[in-house]
Structure 1
Amino acid sequence: MIERIAGIYKGRNKSSAYKDLVFSVATSPDTSVGTKEQTKQALEVISENLKELGSSKESILSAQVFIAKMDEKAEMDEAWCSWIGPNQENWPQRACLGVELEGAVLVEVTVVAVRSPNC
């Protein structure tokens, strides 16, 4: 059975889960701030989304970061590294792609994570 958690955007969910896998996507709720702060806020939303489906950032297998301004990747990396923490055992595979995003969105993050077996 697929679990789906509705988001605020038409035609898509913010998270879904199937068996022991959780899929989530997030952008910053405040697009008036810069790349570093949008990354920080998007990652906070990802944390909340994962928790809602029985997972956490320590259980992320794969992440994709879509960034509108590749010349600001260092700012995104700083926010990412602060959020993911220093324990290399918890670091997921991650790709960063330069893309055109809608409006003032500078960063969009998608993740695939494992959830706890008792969920």
Structure 2
Amino acid sequence: MFPIQRSAGHIPGISWGTSYNGFAWAVAVATDKELDLYGQTVSTLAEIDRVLGELGTDKTRLLNATVYITDMQLRGEMHRAWCEWIGDDPQRWPQRACVGVDLYQKALVEMVMIAACE
């Protein structure tokens, strides 16, 4: 049986990440909810980096990403931060979807990602 590894969140009952059987799942929101969408996206991606690192993987191993934003009119701001973070190598770009949603407590973006582990 494969062990399950978790990255504990700061909200009771919720993990920020889980790894099992060669895969890692990570979720993140910005640490500073006063930032604009671009700033929150940068912060959220830094949190994704942290969680993936705790699970023994990184953004170069991403398979899938779902990005939830509160204003689809500002999608370009999220995408700009995403492109700066993910880099220029198409071999490292995960499949990605962007969905318009309502989020909690001033969050403008939330991300859920799946990565392969080493």
Structures share fold, TM-score greater than 0.5: yes
> Partner amino acid for 1:13?
S
Contact 2:6 2:55 in 1 (8 A): no
Aligned match of 2:53: 51
Could you say what secondary structure the match of 1:29 adopts?
A: coil
For 2:69 and 2:109, the matched residues in 1 are separated by 5
Unaligned runs of 5+ in 1: none
**Residues paired across the two proteins, number:** 116
2:38 is paired with a residue whose SS is helix
> Shift of residue 15 of structure 1?
0.5
1:1-12 correspondence runs (5 A): 1-12=3-14
- Distance apart, 1:112 and its partner CA: 0.3
Structure 2 counterpart of 1:111 = 113
- 1:84 matched to 2:52? The reply is no
Matches within 5 A, 1:93-104: 93-104=95-106
Q: Deviations over 1:63-111 (max 9, x none)?
A: 0000011111000000000000000000000000000001210000010
Per the normalisation by structure 1, the TM-score is 0.95
What is the one-letter code of the residue matched to 1:16? T
| RMSD of equivalent CA atoms | 0.6
Q: Which residue of 1 aligns with 2:39?
A: 37
Identity %: 38
Alpha-carbon distance, 1:21 to partner:
0.2
Normalised TM-score (structure 2)? 0.96
Question: Following the alignment from structure 2 to structure 1, what is the Cα–Cα distance between the partners of residues 117 and 56?
Answer: 5
